[in-house]
Amino acid sequence: METLRNLSFNQIFIGIAFIIIGFILAKLATKAIATLSKDKLTKHQSLLFQRISYYLIVVLFVITALQQINVDLGVILGAAGILSVAIGFASQTSASNIISGLFLLGEKPFGVGDVIKVGSTTGEVLAIDLLSIKLRTFDNLFVRIPNETIIKSEVTTLTRFPIRRFDLVVGVAYKEDLTKVKQVLLKVADDFQLCLEDPEPLYLLQGFGDSAINIQLSVWAKREDFLALKNGMIQQVKNAFDENNIEIPFPHRTLYTGSETKPFPITQQANIP
């Protein structure tokens, strides 16, 4: 308190000026990093460097301001050290998330703007911070996932490559001519404008199902056309099967009770009042 009473107006003014200048320079530094790293770093890396530089500059100028008003930094640093130890024991998870965030920075499995799937959650990456990533799901929900969870989980990046494959599995009745079915399916793929010619469509017999022969038709589309392709292919295949009288059977069961099987007797009784 004695130190504060002995402060002159100039010392207080200079201390406040250092803090204000620090915040201004921190803002300018983040903007400069964003501009210079636009073509050299991913959005993820750029945001991380912006945050680190911002807080580093602010801390340095705050320390300088405290020195101007003759504050004993040794006492502050000692208290900060004790506080950091206490916080460290209470926030081991946060430290793990920070380390995981640094691993994500080096590995770069995805970036801001990518669509990823983590467990049952799918959404667009809004931000990648030291502690967590933020997603916006397709039904407009905000989801925060800790970095440690990302490192330990299987992450699928849906927008990593420019094209995607859609696998349509459909069952046809056992009585159908498979050669005709193949011709119909491949014609649908050839006629649908969203299907790419290269890679070419894939026709695959998956096997014998309980009520149908299961067939897989795989087609490729541009990443941005994937949902439109999926909806359109299902509709086009259904229309083509209807036009060519190809049956998509309902599940059914055949009950067999032995070689001496006889029809089950069925009797109709009047309703009893």
Q: What pTM was computed for the model? A: 0.59
How far separated are the first and last CA of the chain, in Å rounded?
99
90 domain residue, yes or no: yes
Do 97 and 19 lie in a common domain?
A: yes
pLDDT at 16: 84
Say if residue 24 is in the same domain as residue 97. Answer: yes
Please check whether residue 209 lies inside any domain of the structure. Answer: yes
| Residues with Cβ within 8 Å of residue 206, at least 6 apart in sequence | 169, 214, 215, 216
Residue 111: CB atoms within 10 A of its CB come to 19
**Do the domain assignments include residue 202?**
yes
Same domain (yes/no): 220, 174: yes
Q: Which two tokens stand for residue 138?
A: 């397709």
168 and 153 in a single domain? The answer is no
Query: How confident is the model at residue 58, as a pLDDT?
Result: 85
Same domain, residue pair 97 and 14? yes
| pLDDT at position 55 | 83
Residue 129's pLDDT is 80
Residue 258 lies in a domain: no
Q: Are 143 and 179 within one domain?
A: no
Q: Same domain for 152 and 167?
A: no
> Does one domain contain both 194 and 210?
yes
Are residue 36 and residue 96 in the same domain, yes or no?
Answer: yes
* CATH number of domain containing 225: 3.30.70.100
Inside any domain, residue 87:
yes
Domain holding 88: CATH number? Answer: 1.10.287.1260
Query: Are 82 and 134 contained in the same domain?
Result: no
**pLDDT on residue 89:** 53
Structural domain boundaries enclosing 79? 9-102
270 is a domain residue: no
Specify if 251 maps to a domain.
no
**Domain shared by 82 and 135, yes or no:** no
**64-96 per-residue burial string, b: 16 or more CB within 10 A, e: under 16:** ebbebbebeeeeeeeeeeeeeeeeeeeeeebee
pLDDT of residue 2: 45
Q: What is the pLDDT along the chain (273 residues), one digit of tens a residue?
A: 445 556 667 777 777 888 888 888 888 888 888 887 777 776 666 777 787 888 888 888 888 877 777 666 665 666 566 656 555 554 566 667 777 777 777 778 888 889 999 988 999 999 888 788 899 999 999 999 998 888 888 999 998 899 999 999 999 999 999 999 999 999 999 999 999 999 999 999 999 988 899 999 999 999 999 999 999 999 999 999 999 999 999 876 666 666 665 666 666 666 655
Domain count, the chain: 3
How many CA atoms does the CB half-sphere of 30 hold within 13 Å?
17
- The answer to whether residue 268 is domain-embedded is no
Which residue is associated with the tokens 């509709």?
235
**128/173 same-domain check:** no
Question: In three state form, how does the secondary structure of the chain look?
Answer: CHHHHCCCHHHHHHHHHHHHHHHHHHHHHHHHHHHHCCCCCCHHHHHHHHHHHHHHHHHHHHHHHHHHCCCCHHHHHHHHHHHHHHHHHHCHHHHHHHHHHHHHHHHCCCCCCCEEEECCEEEEEEEECCCEEEEEECCCCEEEEEHHHHHHCCEEECCCCCEEEEEEEEEECCCCCHHHHHHHHHHHHHHCCCCCCCCCCEEEEEEECCCCEEEEEEEEEEHHHHHHHHHHHHHHHHHHHHHCCCCCCCCCCCCCCCCCCCCCCCCCCCCCC
